[in-house]
Amino acid sequence: MSQPNILILRAPGTNCDAETAYAFERAGGKPQRIHLNRLLERSDMLADYQVLCIPGGFSYGDDVAAGRIFANQIRHHLADTLNAFRDAGKLILGICNGFQVLIKCGLLDTDDSQGPAATLTWNDSGRFIDCWVPLQVRAEGPPCVYLAGIERLYLPVAHAEGKFVTRDAETLDRLQQTGQLVLRYRSADDNDNPGGLHGNPNGSLRDVAGICDRTGRVFGLMPHPERHIDPTQHPSWTRRQDSPVQASPTHADQAEGDGLQVFRNAVEYFQ
């Protein structure tokens, strides 16, 4: 398949769907933005797609909790459909609010016999944060499709409920042992300069910025890769060679932003 079809699933309050669709288009895919209500009406349409992405924003105004209403719609009406989609070898991606949705609807393999064993909750600061952070890929288990060939990233975060927590230490150890804690905040950049709010902007346990399921095909992350697909989106793009915040092995003349490879990996998975 030369151009996989990507479904960008939006809901009331989603506000990053256009940028995410553009990122997938730049990566060589064929994205289409579809409202959740359409999928609820016709869940069989999912068979026409190879990638499902839930983008960032504030779905349903983040009432109750960030991503909770969207997640409940999936858990109660689309669970079998999305599990079959995943089991067919297809890909699912959740960015920021989409990550909150995936972890709360059970698609990230964090649930156990007692229910959800991990979640995303309020940042330690108790407020919304918006900054750029250096990130490190941790390949401790089966590879995550989206992070193939990537060691480090420099991306923006923008959220109020991005702190990754687990029910207990045993759950956290289990997720690490199964290789699911694939993306971490780094405390410093390549020049040992502190990252945003000292690297971990929300207080996530073990500096977790993103996790995947045990297959490596379902991935959720709090940072926004769609907001760094062009080099001019870097906050220091006019002085990259001398920038103290440079976090990836790129240069001032780089042709693309760090985030584009995340989308390209998803597209190339089907080529």
Exactly one of 16, 161, 212, 224 is catalytic; which is it? 224
Q: Which 3 state secondary structure label does DSSP give 218?
A: strand
Are the beta carbons of 147 and 209 closer than 8 angstroms? no
* Residue 14, beta-bridge partner list: 57
d(CA 17, CA 56) in angstroms, rounded, equals 7
68 — phi, psi (to 5°)? -65, -45
Q: Is 140 a catalytic residue?
A: no
100: nearest Cα among 127, 129, 62, 134: 62
Q: Is 226 a catalytic residue?
A: yes
**How far is CA 151 from its chain centroid?**
16
User: Within 13 Å of residue 164, how many CA atoms lie on the same side as its CB?
Assistant: 31
Exactly one of 53, 105, 226, 228 is catalytic; which is it? 226
Exactly one of 16, 96, 105, 212 is catalytic; which is it? 96
d(CA 77, CA 73) in angstroms, rounded, equals 6
185: nearest Cα among 129, 244, 227, 136: 136
Q: Is 53 a catalytic residue?
A: no
User: Within 13 Å of residue 17, how many CA atoms lie on the same side as its CB?
Assistant: 20
The set of residues, in sequence order, having a beta carbon less than 8 Å from that of 253 and lying 6+ positions away, is none
Are the beta carbons of 223 and 157 closer than 8 angstroms? yes
Residues designated as active site: 96, 224, 226
